């Protein structure tokens, strides 16, 4: 297959736009809990609905890629993301309506994730595979930055409805950029799929460990993404006069702009030093941050945001490496199915993390709420660390 990486910048921009609605609800969470009279568990349930739908869509999109090709799936999905984001902006006015509509966004988002990774894997040299996937995932982080800053600014100037609408309009731009990007790539070579269950792709020990590690990674990652914006807003508002825009900029830069660079740097590090070493380092640091972050609201805004920045950097950094390593251990004709099953298991667990976090906030005494909730996320980092340690050094 002819390899050409000129498509990559356009694909990254398309991913930026498509994911600009991803963190809108989380950015508005403190406001929405009051406006819609939600408990922490109810608020977490909305985010869980999105993540669960995202997991299902990843499986469907992955299987569709093996049959229809990732180019077609990606193009259709960018359109669906734009339409569902606009519907969310217009009609989400309560916990119930938000749960339904944000789940529809999640169902559309999966088709912009796995197909993008498959196209990147198939169209760059093998030695640059991890770094290319890092760039694709960095586009997602950049979209989160736009999502949080844009939503927070609209909260200060107008209200949450304006926040929903602004980020939805950005997602519309993902359609033309996605079309241009996929026009420049070649499809991965596809063979007829056997009738065997997709779990047959998980015969290797390395594949199983990478999948379990991905489950732990997703538990920590999606729980943090859902609740760190609310944690930061709560901590900074208690510390003094702080605007929503300032909170949004602080949070976006600390949690997701660092993730943008992390995805890129971890990919290059994996290409040079090997996946196992990178996965061990990121899993350990992520777990450590989860166990200490909840104790730190009183240390001052600057110190707090430094820790959040480290947290944002490490909890996303192993994602590209885990994905690239999977493409090396699974046969090409089973890759879509394997990534789909992995996504259901991993992101499905990530869907439970925001609810577990919210329940912990509701049941613990005030002094232990944030520490206990973040410690729950740290369990995922611990699982990821153990799996990374058990990987063979050759990988």
Q: State the pTM of this model.
A: 0.74
Domain annotation covers residue 192 = no
What is the model's pLDDT at position 203? 60
Q: Specify whether the CB–CB gap between 145 and 252 falls below 8 A.
A: yes
Mean pLDDT throughout 117-135? 71
User: Which residues have a Cβ under 8 Å from the Cβ of 199 and sit 6 or more positions away?
Assistant: 341
DSSP assignment letter at 194: P
Nearest to 221 by CA among 128, 343, 102, 340: 343
Neighbours of 346 (CB within 10 A): 27
CA–CA dist 65, 115 (Å, integer): 7
Beta carbons of 391 and 206 less than 8 angstroms apart: yes
DSSP string of 94-115, one letter each residue: SHHHHHHHHHHHHHHHGGGTHH
The answer to the question of residue 1 being in a domain is no
| pLDDT tens digits along 271-284 | 777 788 888 999 99
| Residue 341 buriedness (CB in 10 A; 0-12 / 13-18 / 19+) | buried
Q: In whole angstroms, how far apart are CA 335 and each of 89, 198, 201?
A: 35, 9, 8
What is the count of structural domains for the chain? 1
Tokens coding 151: 């939503």
In a domain, 225, yes or no: yes
Confidence of residue 215 (pLDDT cuts 50, 70, 90): very high
Domain with residue 233: its CATH number is: 1.20.1250.20
Q: Assess whether pLDDT exceeds 50 at residue 194.
A: no
Residue 291 is predicted with a pLDDT of 95
Q: Which domain holds residue 88?
A: 8-187+198-390
- In the block, which residue shows the tokens 């994730």? 113
pLDDT of 252-266, one tens digit each? 777 777 877 777 777
Give, in degrees to the nearest 5, the angle at Cα 108 between 357 and 176: 130
3, part of any domain: no
Which range is least confidently modeled, 44-58, 279-293, 367-381? 44-58
pLDDT of the residue at 264: 72
- The reply to whether 208 falls in a domain is yes
Contact 59, 369 (CB under 8 A): no
Buried b (16+ CB within 10 A) or exposed e, 208-235: ebbbbbbbbbbbbbbbbbbbbbbbbbbb
Note the pLDDT of residue 80: 95
In this prediction, residue 70 carries a pLDDT of 85
Interval 313-370: pLDDT, tens = 899 888 878 877 777 777 666 666 677 778 788 888 888 898 899 899 989 988 899 9
Residue 162 lies inside a defined structural domain of this protein = yes
Tell me the average pLDDT across 131-160: 83
Alpha-helix residue ranges (DSSP H) falling in the chain: 8-18, 24-27, 29-35, 40-68, 70-91, 95-109, 114-123, 129-157, 160-172, 174-182, 205-239, 244-251, 258-273, 275-293, 301-329, 335-363, 369-390
Q: Is residue 33 included in any domain, yes or no?
A: yes
Q: What percent of the chain has pLDDT over 90?
A: 29
- Residue 158 is inside which H or E element, if any? none
Looking at per-residue pLDDT, the higher value among 320 and 75 belongs to 75
Percent with pLDDT over 70 in the chain: 87
Query: Is 193 contained in some domain?
Result: no
């Amino acid at each position: 297959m002819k390899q050409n990486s000129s498509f990559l910048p356009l694909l990254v921009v398309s991913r930026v736009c498509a994911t600009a609605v991803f963190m809108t609800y989380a950015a508005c969470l403190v406001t929405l809990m009051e406006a819609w009279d939600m408990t922490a568990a109810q608020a977490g349930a909305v985010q869980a609905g999105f993540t669960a739908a995202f997991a299902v869509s990843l499986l469907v999109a992955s299987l569709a890629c093996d049959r229809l090709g990732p180019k077609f799936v990606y193009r259709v999905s960018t359109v669906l993301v734009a339409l569902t984001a606009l519907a969310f902006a217009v009609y989400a006015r309560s916990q119930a309506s938000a749960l339904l509509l944000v789940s529809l966004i999640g169902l559309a988002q999966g088709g912009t994730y796995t197909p993008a990774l498959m196209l990147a894997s198939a169209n760059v040299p093998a030695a640059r595979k991890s770094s290319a996937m890092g760039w694709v995932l960095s586009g997602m982080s950049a979209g989160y930055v736009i999502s949080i800053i844009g939503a927070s600014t609209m909260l200060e100037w107008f209200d949450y409805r304006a926040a929903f609408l602004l980020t939805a309009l950005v997602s519309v731009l993902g359609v033309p950029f996605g079309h241009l990007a996929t026009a420049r790539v070649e499809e991965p070579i596809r063979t007829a799929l056997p009738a065997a269950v997709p779990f047959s792709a998980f015969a290797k020990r390395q594949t199983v460990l990478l999948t379990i590690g991905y489950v732990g990674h997703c538990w920590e990652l999606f729980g943090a993404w859902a609740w760190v914006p609310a944690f930061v807003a709560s901590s900074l508002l208690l510390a003094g006069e702080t605007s929503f825009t300032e909170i949004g900029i602080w949070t976006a830069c600390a949690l997701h702009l660092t993730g943008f660079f992390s995805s890129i740097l971890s990919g290059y590090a994996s290409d040079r030093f090997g996946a196992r070493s990178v996965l061990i380092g990121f899993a350990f640091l992520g777990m450590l941050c989860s166990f200490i972050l909840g104790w730190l609201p009183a240390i001052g805004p600057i110190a707090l945001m430094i820790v959040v920045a480290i947290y944002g950097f490490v909890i996303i950094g192993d994602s590209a490496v885990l994905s690239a390593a999977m493409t090396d251990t699974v046969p090409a004709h089973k890759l879509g199915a394997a990534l789909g099953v992995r996504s259901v298991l991993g992101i499905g667990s990530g869907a439970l993390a925001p609810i577990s976090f919210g329940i912990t906030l509701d049941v613990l005494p005030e002094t232990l709420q944030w520490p206990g909730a973040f410690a729950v996320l740290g369990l995922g980092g611990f699982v990821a660390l153990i799996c990374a340690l058990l990987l063979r050094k050759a990988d």
